[in-house]
């Protein structure tokens, strides 16, 4: 999760998506794929430098390299492997992946748009609380939600047990361990992305646009479908495609629900068939898939420039007051969503946590616990620093250049948000392994796997995967630095380093903090790349949770899972504060 504008509630930041101004938005945006790339309409004038910035080129090269190495792998396919899976599992994996993405788009889209419309346009009891609280599910990693749902709603779980006790043994209950179950769980975790963007769009349109439509004789519902939705299209497309990409990249949830997708298939081929080469080729195929989705997203957001009557940060929305049963229905809908997507899983986890503490001697897991916490914090911290440092270099390099190349390089190096962790892991390993072996050959033997056997490979993978998160954080705050300030410093003879340290960094301190925090939390939740690349003994909280949950040790899994959720709540809480 990323929030490009989380730190800039003041002023009216423009969301510039893929170089086009979408909508100015009050409130924050949680979007790794919204890159606030310089546009002609940017109020900040800058030096126009032609040519290709060297630092940008270097960073982009390093970050994009694993993806290219992976694609090159397709040039020498393992014919046997492809023949076998094309006739057996591949069609199903592709079908399931499409089904999952489509299902999540529909369900998360409906939830996100519907709730955003409700809290923006209507007044009902507890509305102000729901407006913020509906973001809470963002703090729960999808695989945690997955195992809590599995334990709660499957045949042996408490809900179905109660169901049978009430309605008899033969009473129908849908099979949760299925594609449908995975779609529901992922949608409950991912709808806040859509909600956040839709809410920003609806607020921006404001009541005036809707009132204008109503004056023309359009009903409130009609105004929603004929005016509000079409006008919000770019934002909605951004939110929904983000949810789709998260669904495509998911590994843990689909594994728990026994729903075989491409992303899960990579891990299955890598570990189950013990065939790294074949897994890499499958990863390359999924990479092509991801590129297709990104293109689709861009197309959906085409011509994304709309202007509204009025607008601005102080714009007041006159909410329609719901009366009678309608207002309670609205409250009920919001409570139901929040209850199922946040209160239920957290309550269940807390219950398990206490049971675990009661049943086991604390001493047996506290040492292990702190070891995992240390591993996770160390890994996430290092990755956050690396990703943010790279982002700072890129942002300030990109600022000086207006050539289309600069923009392309930035796009290239922030592609990772659409890449499943397993794909990135395969690419990083293919890139680093030859270097490792070359080092060993050169030094004549046993120096060990310096890159792939250490944290380097894993941190590299995280950086590729979460570059867009740190980039958008830094970018949005760097936008605020007036070039005149830097020019003045330069005139007074300050060196580039001095300008960076004394002017730029202090001015973007908030962006730095946001970038660090967001990458930290994303790394903490990451599962597939960690699973495939972690060096000896570097098990993280996410890995620990996953392994215990996979063996149905729900109680024990609640300990690391709740830790992840608690840390994940920090950025969400900030998002909620700023969501006013």
Partner 1 sequence: MRKLFLAASAALGVVLLSGAAVMAQDTPQVVNVYSSRHYGAMEDAFVRFTEETGIEVRLSSGSAQSILERLRAEGSQTVADVYFTIDAGGLDLAASEGLLQPIESEILTEAIPADLRDPDNLWFAVSQRMRTIMYNPETVDPSELSTYAALADEEWAGRLCLRPGTHIYTISLIGSLIANLGAEEAERVVAGWVANQPQYIDSDTRILETIAAGGCDVGLTNHYYLARLLDTDPEFPVRAFWANQGEGETGVFRNVGGVGLTAAAINRDNAIRLIEWMATDGQAADLTGVPGGNYEFPTAVDAPVNEIIAGFGEFTIDPLPLTEYGELQIQAVELIERVGYGS
- Nearest CA-CA partner of 155 in 147, 144, 164, 143: 164
Which residues have a Cβ under 8 Å from the Cβ of 536 and sit 6 or more positions away? Answer: 453
- Nearest CA-CA partner of 417 in 565, 203, 222, 244: 244
Residue 556 within binding range of partner 1, rule CB under 8 A: yes
Residue 11 within binding range of partner 1, rule CB under 8 A: no
- Nearest CA-CA partner of 263 in 251, 272, 277, 271: 251
Subset of 19-38 contacting partner 1 (CB under 8 A):
none
Which one among 46, 128, 220, 273 touches partner 1, defined by CB under 8 A?
Answer: 273
Q: Which stretch binds partner 1 (CB under 8 A): 130-138, 193-201, 219-227, 270-278?
A: 270-278
Subset of 520-539 contacting partner 1 (CB under 8 A):
520, 531-532, 534-539
Which CB, 342 or 554, lies closer to partner 1? 554
DSSP secondary structure string, 120-150? HHEE-TTHHHHHHHTTGGGGS-HHHHHHHHH
How far are the Cα atoms of 128, 262, 291 from residue 94, in angstroms, in the given order?
42, 6, 15
Torsion angle, alpha carbons of 246, 251, 254, 259, to 10: 110
Subset of 283-322 contacting partner 1 (CB under 8 A):
none
Which residues have a Cβ under 8 Å from the Cβ of 265 and sit 6 or more positions away? Answer: 89, 93, 282
DSSP-assigned beta bridge partners for residue 15: 23
Closest contact distance (angstroms) between CB of 556 and partner 1 is 6
Closest contact distance (angstroms) between CB of 406 and partner 1 is 29
- Nearest CA-CA partner of 430 in 68, 64, 77, 69: 69
Which CB, 140 or 379, lies closer to partner 1? 379
Residue 190: enclosing H or E segment and its boundaries? helix 179-215
Q: Which stretch binds partner 1 (CB under 8 A): 204-212, 399-407, 415-423, 513-521?
A: 513-521
Closest contact distance (angstroms) between CB of 422 and partner 1 is 12
Which CB, 23 or 512, lies closer to partner 1? 512
Q: In angstroms, rounded to a whole number, what is the distance separating the alpha carbons of residues 506 and 66?
A: 33
- For tokens 């009920």, name the residue: 332
Q: Which stretch binds partner 1 (CB under 8 A): 205-213, 215-223, 294-302, 442-450?
A: 442-450
- Token couple for 580: 């006013």
Q: Which stretch binds partner 1 (CB under 8 A): 42-50, 86-94, 291-299, 303-311?
A: 86-94
Going residue by residue from 46 to 85, which x/- string records binding to partner 1, judged by CB under 8 A? --------------------------------------xx
- Contact predicate 75/284, CB 8 Å: no
- Nearest CA-CA partner of 277 in 289, 266, 291: 266
Q: Which stretch binds partner 1 (CB under 8 A): 137-145, 183-191, 404-412, 544-552?
A: 544-552
Residue 552 within binding range of partner 1, rule CB under 8 A: yes
Total binding residues for partner 1 by CB under 8 A? 73
**Cα–chain center distance at 155:** 31
DSSP-assigned beta bridge partners for residue 401: 49
Closest contact distance (angstroms) between CB of 272 and partner 1 is 5
Q: Which stretch binds partner 1 (CB under 8 A): 202-210, 240-248, 407-415, 551-559?
A: 551-559
Q: In angstroms, rounded to a whole number, what is the distance separating the alpha carbons of residues 258 and 177?
A: 7
DSSP-assigned beta bridge partners for residue 23: 15
Which CB, 110 or 552, lies closer to partner 1? 552
Which one among 517, 558, 565, 576 touches partner 1, defined by CB under 8 A?
Answer: 517
Q: Which stretch binds partner 1 (CB under 8 A): 51-59, 204-212, 217-225, 378-386?
A: 378-386
Helix axes 509-525, 455-478, angle to 10 degrees: 140
In this structure, the number of other CB atoms found within 10 A of the CB of residue 577 comes to 12
Closest contact distance (angstroms) between CB of 17 and partner 1 is 25
Subset of 382-411 contacting partner 1 (CB under 8 A):
382, 384-385
Q: How do strand 14-17 and strand 20-24 relate by DSSP bridges? A: antiparallel
Closest contact distance (angstroms) between CB of 566 and partner 1 is 13
Residue 42 within binding range of partner 1, rule CB under 8 A: no
Which one among 54, 75, 79, 156 touches partner 1, defined by CB under 8 A?
Answer: 156
Which one among 347, 495, 551, 566 touches partner 1, defined by CB under 8 A?
Answer: 551
- Token couple for 316: 């007041």
Residue 250 within binding range of partner 1, rule CB under 8 A: no
Subset of 338-377 contacting partner 1 (CB under 8 A):
364-365, 368, 370-371, 374-377
Closest contact distance (angstroms) between CB of 264 and partner 1 is 9
- Nearest CA-CA partner of 503 in 520, 491, 515: 491
Residue 166 within binding range of partner 1, rule CB under 8 A: no
Which CB, 338 or 384, lies closer to partner 1? 384
Residue 97 within binding range of partner 1, rule CB under 8 A: no
Q: Looking at residue 447, what DSSP letter applies?
A: S
Q: Which stretch binds partner 1 (CB under 8 A): 88-96, 134-142, 186-194, 345-353?
A: 88-96
- Contact predicate 563/551, CB 8 Å: no
Residue 165 within binding range of partner 1, rule CB under 8 A: no
- Token couple for 181: 């179950």
- Nearest CA-CA partner of 66 in 322, 283, 277: 283
What sign results for the dihedral spanned by CA atoms 471, 528, 241, 104?
negative
Closest contact distance (angstroms) between CB of 100 and partner 1 is 14
Q: Which stretch binds partner 1 (CB under 8 A): 37-45, 332-340, 401-409, 552-560?
A: 552-560
In this structure, the number of other CB atoms found within 10 A of the CB of residue 185 comes to 30
Q: Looking at residue 316, what DSSP letter applies?
A: P
Which CB, 21 or 96, lies closer to partner 1? 96
Which one among 174, 351, 378, 434 touches partner 1, defined by CB under 8 A?
Answer: 378
């Amino acid at each position: 999760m990323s929030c490009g504008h989380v730190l800039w509630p003041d002023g009216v930041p423009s969301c510039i998506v893929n170089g086009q101004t979408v909508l100015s938005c009050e409130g924050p945006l949680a979007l790794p794929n919204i890159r606030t790339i310089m546009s002609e309409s940017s109020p900040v004038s800058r030096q126009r430098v032609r040519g290709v910035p060297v630092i940008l080129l270097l960073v982009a090269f390093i970050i994009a390299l694993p993806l290219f190495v992976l694609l090159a792998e397709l040039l020498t396919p393992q014919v046997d492997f492809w023949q076998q899976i094309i006739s057996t599992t591949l069609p199903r994996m592709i079908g399931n992946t499409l089904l999952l993405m489509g299902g999540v788009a529909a369900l998360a889209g409906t939830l996100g748009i519907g709730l955003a419309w409700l809290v923006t346009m209507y007044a009902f009891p507890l509305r102000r609380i729901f407006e913020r609280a509906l973001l809470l599910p963002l703090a729960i990693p999808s695989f945690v939600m997955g195992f809590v749902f599995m334990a709660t709603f499957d045949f042996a779980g408490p809900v179905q047990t109660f169901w049978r006790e009430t309605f008899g043994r033969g009473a129908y209950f849908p099979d949760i361990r299925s594609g449908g179950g995975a779609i529901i769980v992922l949608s409950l975790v991912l709808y806040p992305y859509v909600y956040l963007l839709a809410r920003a769009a609806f607020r921006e349109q404001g009541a005036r646009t809707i009132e204008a439509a109503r004056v023309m004789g359009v009903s409130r519902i009609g105004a929603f479908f004929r005016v509000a939705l079409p006008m919000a299209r770019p934002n909605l497309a951004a939110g929904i495609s983000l949810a789709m990409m998260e669904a495509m990249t998911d590994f843990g949830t689909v594994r728990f629900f026994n729903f075989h997708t491409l992303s899960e298939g990579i891990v299955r081929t890598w570990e189950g068939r013990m065939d790294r080469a074949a897994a890499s080729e499958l990863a390359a195929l999924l990479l092509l898939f991801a590129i297709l989705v990104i293109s689709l997203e861009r197309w959906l957001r085409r011509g994304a420039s709309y202007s509204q009557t009025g607008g601005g940060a102080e714009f007041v929305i006159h909410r329609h007051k719901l009366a009678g049963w309608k207002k309670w229905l609205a409250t009920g809908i919001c409570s139901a969503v929040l209850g199922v997507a946040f209160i239920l899983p957290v309550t269940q986890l807390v219950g398990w946590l206490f049971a675990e503490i009661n049943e086991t001697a604390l001493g047996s897991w506290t040492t292990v616990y702190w070891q995992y916490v240390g591993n996770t914090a160390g890994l996430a911290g290092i990755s956050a620093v690396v990703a943010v440092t790279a982002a700072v270099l890129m942002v300030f390099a990109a600022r000086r250049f207006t050539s289309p190349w600069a923009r392309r390089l930035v796009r290239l190096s922030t592609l990772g948000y659409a890449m499943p962790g397993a794909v990135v892991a395969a690419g990083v390993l293919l890139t680093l392994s030859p270097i490792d072996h070359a080092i060993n050959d050169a030094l004549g033997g046993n120096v060990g796997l310096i890159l792939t056997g250490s944290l380097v490979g894993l941190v590299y993978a995280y950086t590729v995967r979460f570059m867009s998160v740190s980039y958008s954080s830094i970018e949005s705050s760097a936008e605020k630095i007036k070039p005149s300030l830097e020019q003045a410093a330069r005139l007074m003879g300050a060196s580039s380093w001095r300008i960076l340290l004394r002017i730029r960094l202090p001015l973007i301190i908030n962006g730095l903090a946001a970038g660090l925090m967001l990458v930290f939390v994303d790394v903490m939740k990451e599962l597939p790349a960690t699973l495939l690349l972690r060096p000896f003994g570097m098990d993280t909280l996410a890995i620990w949770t996953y392994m215990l949950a996979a063996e149905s040790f729900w109680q024990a899994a609640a300990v690391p899972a709740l830790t992840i959720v608690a840390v994940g709540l920090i950025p969400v809480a900030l998002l909620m504060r700023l969501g006013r």
